[in-house]
Amino acid sequence: MNSLEILDNDSMTEVKLLPTVIEITSQERRMIKDAAEHLEKKYGSYENRDFIKHVHQMASYFLPERILHIAADFASDFSKNQYGALIFQGLMDIDQELLGTTPPNWQSADYSKFNLYGFACALIHGALPSKPVQYYSQRKGGGLIHAIIPDEKMRETQTGSGSATDLYVHTEDAFLKHQADFLSFMYVRNEEQVPSTLYSIRSHKSIGENYRPLFDRIYKIPKDANLETGESEEEALDSVLYGNNKLPFMRFDAAEQLFNPSIKQSDDAHQCLAEFWDEARHLIYSGFTPQAGDVILVNNHLCAHGRSAFRAGVRNIDGIEYACERRIMLRMMSKVSLIDMRAHTLTEDPFFVIEEHLGKNFQHL
Ligand SMILES: [Fe+2]
């Protein structure tokens, strides 16, 4: 079910793996909206633990059959043809007027406006099945959904709030042992027409002998720009590739592992990473521009994500610049197993992850 694009070069035919695009039909969109509205009436908020605990059953009961099948296949397909990203086009209708003006930053967003969308995203994760969780390392938890909004004060940073510089491709929270298994990005507004950026480990023709050292635990995996640097960080090492040797998973963050000036990899580690990046950077895909209502679902072990630089609040049409509303994207993260990461969740809340860095927890929680 993956998209394969045939590229005809002069002398050879190359098959390029692409994320799978699923166009949601109007009937399916109606079913999802009805489900979200029904669940909102019953549970109030998508944060309600009674809803989240039952999210798998709710997904089976309410989601269209086709989407259930696609989600289940995606969750357990790690094959060479699995890109690791699904694009659901038109999953929800977004009422732009109800949304109002984009707030200046995520801190001032009114989350009640995202409530229905939160239910819809949670159902998609539930169908995998995977459980929506929150991470202390991201916004001190901050709930099951994070609104990603360009913030003028943060425009130069390598964070979701940045805009002026390219956000290098990365797997989310590469510095955690128990990083999210799946991520969803729901675009509720993208008037600037910023393309999404994806990069799949499966896009490499093969992971041959030259990449064998990427399975060694010799790499510094620094925390990202959202976080302060801890002193023990330099000592913690891990591998970039893991899982199956032929068809591996990855924990990769180009900005932090290769270009963070305060982190010095060993010569061997740096050389391997640089060679890997030299191939990887040509495999980045930015051919899809999400529209309001689209959702990108990512397997965070197979596929990295990022974003090109853009000017927030400016839309360019045929070379003429127009003012527009700034972008809003809603991110949800999920884990397949609450049991595997129990040593890294709050005593009273197994949905709240308190891992700080590669198996070490935040001490004050
Ligand atoms: Fe990210």
Indicate the SS3 state at residue 153. Answer: helix
Residue 180 lies in a domain: yes
pLDDT at 1: 46
CA of 170 to the centre of ligand 1 (A): 6
Which pLDDT does position 11 carry in this prediction? 43
What pLDDT sits at residue 161? 86
Tokens representing 112 are 């009640």
Residue 69, annotated ligand binder?
A: no
Distance between Cα 88 and ligand 1 center (Å): 19
Closest CA to 186 of 84, 299, 25, 333: 333
Q: Note the pLDDT of residue 209.
A: 84
- Do the Cβ atoms of 16 and 4 come closer than 8 Å? yes
CATH number at residue 44: 3.60.130.10
Asked whether residue 218 is domain-assigned, the answer is no
Q: Is residue 205 part of a domain?
A: no
Angle, CA 26 vertex, CA 21 and CA 29 arms, to 5°? 75
Per-residue model confidence as pLDDT tens digits over 98-132:
999 999 999 999 999 999 999 999 999 999 999 99
Q: pLDDT (tens digit, 0 to 9) for every residue of the chain, 365 residues total?
A: 455 555 544 444 556 899 999 999 999 999 999 999 999 999 999 999 999 999 999 999 999 999 999 999 999 999 999 999 999 999 999 999 999 999 999 999 999 999 999 999 999 999 999 999 999 999 999 999 999 999 988 888 888 888 888 889 999 999 999 999 999 999 999 999 999 999 999 999 988 888 999 999 999 999 876 555 555 555 789 999 999 999 999 999 999 999 988 888 999 999 999 999 999 999 999 999 999 999 999 999 999 999 888 999 999 999 999 999 999 999 999 999 999 999 999 999 999 999 999 999 999 88
User: Quick check: 122 and 71 in contact, CB under 8 A?
Assistant: no
Question: Coil, helix or strand for 1?
Answer: coil
Place of tokens 């197979």: 302
Q: Tell me whether residue 7 is in a domain.
A: no
DSSP strand pairing (349-353 vs 345-346): antiparallel
Q: Which of 72, 107, 98, 97 has its CA nearest to residue 336?
A: 72
Show the domain range for 169.
17-190+288-361
The Å distance, Cα 186 to ligand 1 centre, comes to 13
**134 DSSP β-pair partners:** 352
The pLDDT value recorded for residue 10 is 46
Asked if the structure places residue 101 within a domain, the reply is yes
Q: What is the rounded CA–CA span in Å between residue 162 and residue 150?
A: 6
Q: Give 318 Cα–ligand 1 centroid separation in angstroms.
A: 30
What is the number of domains present in the chain? 1
Q: Does residue 245 belong to any structural domain of this protein?
A: no
What dihedral do alpha carbons 346, 347, 351, 357 form, nearest 10°?
30
* Ligand-binding site membership of 170 (annotated): yes
Q: Closest Cα partner for 28 from 84, 113, 93? A: 93
42 lies in a domain?
yes
Distance 12 CA to ligand 1 centre (A): 35
Could you tell me if residue 281 is inside a domain?
A: no
